[in-house]
Every structure is written in C-alpha cells, then in structure tokens.
Structure 1
Amino acid sequence: MLLSTTDEIPGFRITEYKGLVFGITVRSRGMGGDCAAGCQSCAGGEVSAYTSVVLDSRNEALNRMVADAQTRGANAIVGIRIDNDQLGQGANTGVVAMGTAVVVTNM
C-alpha cells in the first residue's frame, strides 16, 4: 500500500478513486502511567510516557485506515491527514487518520 500526504504519487497515475477512508483510535496511559508521567513532567523535558501513547495511537489509526482501503480494493492512499486531540479529563488521546483510497498504476 502506497501512502502519501500529497494528492499525487510521483511516477504513478491514479486510475480509480475508491473514496474516503479513515482509521480512529482512542488510547489512555492508565492511572499508573499518568502518575509516572506527572512525576516526569515536574523534572521538565520530554514526557516519554505520553510520547509513546501518541506514537502508538498514530500507528494504530494508520493501520486501520490502510485496512479500510484494502477492503475497498485500493493499492494507495493519497491526501493523508492525521489529527489528534486530548479527550476527556485524563490523558486519553484520540487520533484520526484519513485520506482518499485510490488505485494507481506505474506511468
């Protein structure tokens, strides 16, 4: 599966549009992770506990988007956008990956 944030992929021609595809996930560190992250944030610098949650969430959302595109018969996704936000009062991270599923061929 070819993935691109642009609307085209150099060297390929879009021959068919399969529609909007997306992947969504919401993750939390849990109470123990929040406490550890709170202690780490007091010292300053990167809060690796939260970095891990955001990275895992992004990867899961991308994987779900790719699975959606595969069920539609696409071999590429163009115009990919990723959005994330904190949900609720805890450290719940919601991530949405979206793009347009297409069929491409070599030029």
Structure 2
Amino acid sequence: MVITTTSTLQGKEIERYISVVSGEAIMGANVVRDFLASVTDIIGGRSSAYENKLAEGREIALREMQDKASRLGANAVIGVDLDFETLREGMMMCIATGTAVYVKDL
C-alpha cells in the first residue's frame, strides 16, 4: 500500500476517495528512560531513548492507519499527517491521519 503526505500520486489516477482514516499510539515512558533523558539534557546531546519511543509510536500509528484503510478497500493513503502530543508527564501520543483512496492501476 502506498502511503504519502502528498494529496496526489504523480502519474496515477485516484478512482475514488473512500474515507478519512487514522491510527493512534499512546506510549508511556518509564523511569529509567526518563532518568537517562534527564542526564542527556544536562550534558547535551540527543536522547536516543526518547527518539526510539517516538519512532515506535509513529510506526504503530502508521500501521494501524494502513490496516484500517486496507479493510475499507483502499490501496493507498494520501495526505498523511503525523501529530505528536504529550498527554501528561511520561505519556506521549502519536496520531497518523490520511485519506484512504483507491488508485487505478496501482
């Protein structure tokens, strides 16, 4: 399945727009990751622990969105947008939203 942030697929004809689809992932951080991130904040640098958690959330949200689109008969999702939010201390959410479409000759 093609997943893109663009509203069209170059050289392809969208036969029908099916529905808006989304996938959500709510991830909790743990005490060890929080401690390691605070050390990184003090000495500088990137927090690989949090970067990995963000990547995991993004992949889960995209996979869930793709599964929903597939169940609706779509073969592509266009206009995909990713949003990341902090819900409360130690919790983060990733939402992937797009338009499920059927693309001719894909």
TM-score (norm 2): 0.94
1:51 matched to which residue of 2? 51
1:93 matched to which residue of 2? 92
Alignment-mate amino acid for residue 104 of structure 2: T
Q: Mean Cα displacement is larger for which, 28-37 or 50-59?
A: 28-37
1:31 matched to which residue of 2? 31
* Secondary structure, counterpart of 2:104 in structure 1: strand
Within 5 Å, give how 1:60-99 maps onto structure 2: 60-90=60-90, 92-99=91-98
Structural RMSD (CA)? 1.3
Which structure 1 segments of 5+ residues have no match? Answer: none
Write the deviation string for residues 22-66 of structure 1: whole angstroms up to 9, x where unpaired: 000011221121112111221101111111111110111000000
Which structure 2 segments of 5+ residues have no match? Answer: none
* Aligned partners of 1:80 and 1:97 also within 8 Å: yes
Q: Mean Cα displacement is larger for which, 31-40 or 73-82?
A: 31-40
Pairwise CA distance, 1:89: 1.9
How many residues were matched structurally?
Answer: 106
Q: Percent identity?
A: 32
CA distance in 2, matches of 1:22, 1:54: 17
* Secondary structure, counterpart of 2:62 in structure 1: helix
1:102 matched to which residue of 2? 101
Pairwise CA distance, 1:106: 3.2
